[in-house]
């Protein structure tokens, strides 16, 4: 395998229930030179969540200071808390020749894309940028998966399906779309895509 490949800045989005977290975990286990981007948030840690692992947990004053310093590639307010992605760790990882993967919704992805577009053509973040949308095989299948998962009340499932429709309608904004009809097949497609785009072949 060619060891001198292009460091990637990978953005992945998918409606809830499409297996995105599982696929990202599989990628991280296989590709040791790909790091996961840890978001910052002002919400309190839940359960076993660890600072610097699940999120960087910050207080509101510190988060707002970082906003003023233009430290975020994107940020949003969700249910009264801030969430954001720092620029610096992405830059550091790419400068080391490694890749970074971001798990973000379509609105966040739009902000990241706008930021990347504003960069000069020779910027490593622009050179390595790739965004991927994971699709369910069908809405019926997605509904079945959410029901089987058993974590959501029927009303929540309907809300997730509504959101999914809105997100799927924006799939055309992504450079690549991969359908998760079968986890192993979808994973293989993602690996082939990463290998091809980074020139690992």
Query: Which of 52, 53, 128 has its CA nearest to residue 94?
Result: 128
> What is the SS3 string spanning 57-88?
ECCHHHHHHHHHCCCEEEEEEECCEEEEEEHH
Residues in the interface with ligand 5GP (CB under 6 A) total 11
Give the whole-angstrom CA distance, residue 147 versus residue 194: 31
Cα Dmax for the chain: 49
42 part of the interface to ligand 5GP, by CB under 6 A: no
Min CB(55)–ligand 5GP separation in Å: 7
Query: Which of 114, 120, 87, 117 has its CA nearest to residue 102?
Result: 87
Distance of CA 162 to the CA centre of its chain: 20
Min CB(84)–ligand 5GP separation in Å: 5
Residue 172 CB-density burial (10 A; 0-12 exposed, 13-18 middle, 19+ buried): exposed
Stretch that binds ligand 5GP, among 22-30, 104-112, 117-125, 160-168 (CB under 6 A): 104-112
Contact 161, 139 (CB under 8 A): yes
Contact 102, 83 (CB under 8 A): no
- CB closer to ligand 5GP out of 112 and 178: 112
85 part of the interface to ligand 5GP, by CB under 6 A: yes
**Site map 63..82 versus ligand 5GP, x via CB under 6 A:** -----------x-x-x----
84 part of the interface to ligand 5GP, by CB under 6 A: yes
- CB closer to ligand 5GP out of 104 and 197: 104
- CB closer to ligand 5GP out of 100 and 104: 104
- CB closer to ligand 5GP out of 32 and 46: 46
Binding site for ligand 5GP (CB under 6 A): 39, 43, 74, 76, 78, 83-85, 104-105, 108
């Amino acid at each position: 395998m060619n060891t001198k490949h292009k460091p990637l800045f990978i953005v992945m989005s998918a409606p809830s229930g499409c297996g995105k977290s599982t696929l990202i975990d599989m990628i991280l286990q296989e590709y040791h030179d790909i790091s996961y981007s840890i978001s910052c948030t002002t919400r309190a840690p839940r359960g076993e969540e660890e600072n610097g692992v699940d999120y960087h947990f910050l207080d509101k004053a510190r988060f707002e200071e970082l906003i003023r310093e233009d430290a975020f590639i994107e940020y949003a307010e969700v249910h009264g808390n801030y969430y954001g992605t720092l620029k610096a760790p992405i830059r550091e990882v790419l400068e080391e020749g490694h890749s970074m993967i971001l798990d973000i919704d379509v609105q966040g992805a739009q902000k990241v894309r706008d930021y990347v577009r504003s960069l000069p053509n020779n910027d490593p973040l622009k050179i390595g940028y790739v965004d991927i949308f994971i699709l369910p095989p069908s809405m019926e299948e997605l509904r079945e998966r959410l029901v089987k998962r058993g974590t959501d009340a029927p009303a929540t499932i309907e809300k997730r399906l509504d959101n999914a429709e809105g997100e799927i309608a924006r799939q055309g904004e992504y450079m690549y779309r991969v359908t998760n009809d079968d986890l192993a097949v979808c994973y293989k497609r993602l690996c082939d895509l990463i290998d091809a785009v980074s020139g690992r072949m």
